[in-house]
Copies of this chain bind each other. A is one copy, B any other.
Amino acid sequence: MTAPYTPGPRSRIKRNPKRGSYDRATVHAILDSAMLAHVAYTIDGQPYCTPTIHWRDGETLYWHGSSASRMLRAQGPGLPVCVTVTHLDGLVLARSAFNHSANFRCAMVFGKAHLVDDAAEKERALYAVTDRLFPGRNAELRPMTTQEIKATSVVRMEIEEASAKVRGVNVGDDEEDGTWPVWAGVIPVTTVIGPPEPSPVLPDTIPLPAHLSAFAAGRALDTVLQDSFTRWQEES
């Protein structure tokens, strides 16, 4: 499926539409190069914003656990949610406080959340998130027990509407500010991987496995996660 998403009342971009897009590949790339999402949902009129680990499989978005589990189980048609993934890419410094900004890539995805109750589907989803993050790792793990699968909450949502918003350029100062004598530009920020910290009870004889070689210290997390996702898709 490569056609763009169709904007609806929830997803139509009203502010700064020049930065917005309904392009499917753009939305997918923002989702797949991240593992942290924020989920907004409403219970009894009160909005909540919960961070979670998410993963995508086609047009289905999954995420881990939910403090809304009880609410989800009670909702036959699903709980309306908005799932947002944002990469912060830079601080944009201008000659006027007004023109300061941030560089970022953001995807907002709308749909109705359901608890995954079917044991087989839940088992598949839980193995999928491990292989999506660390392709090949499941084959080396102690298999999950029925009790572990039961004890985990997985939420599923079909993507109904989605939009992306991206700012990735240098500063947009007013032309007449060009000679104002203060530094202007972008201070980039990147989320990078650090040196691995083995479990204190890990025997010295167990090295970092090949399936983690992509997670080398200094690499950008978004690049590694996008690569892992692509590898997982190719192998499954």
Contact = CB atoms under 8 A, between A and B. Distances in A.
A108 interface: yes
A166 B151 CA distance: 21
Given A91-B133, A186-B196, A189-B192, A84 B202 contact: no
A82 B68 CA distance: 14
Contact of A178 (B91, B95, B102, B201): B201
Given A104-B51, A177-B142, A197-B170, A80 B45 contact: yes
Contacts of A178: 201
Can you tell how many copies of this chain the complex includes?
2
Q: How would you classify the secondary structure of chain A's contact residues: helix, strand, loop or mixed?
A: mixed
A218 B156 CA distance: 38
A90 B46 CA distance: 30
Interface residues on A, range: 35 or more
Nearest to A185: B198
A36 interface: yes
Contacts of A199: 170-171, 173, 184-185
Nearest to A44: B9
B35 A88 contact: yes
Contacts of A84: 38, 49-51
Given A36-B88, A126-B98, A108 B49 contact: yes
A11 to B, nearest CB: 10
Nearest to A186: B197
A163 B170 CA distance: 36
Interface stretch (A21-29, A55-63, A207-215): A207-215
A53 interface: yes
Contacts of A215: 91, 187
Interface string A96-135: 1110101010101010000000000000001101100110
Interface of A: 10, 14-15, 35-36, 38-42, 45-51, 53, 65, 67, 80-84, 86, 88, 90-91, 93, 95-98, 100, 102, 104, 106, 108, 110, 126-127, 129-130, 133-134, 137-138, 140-145, 148-149, 151-152, 170-171, 173, 177-203, 206-209, 212, 215, 221
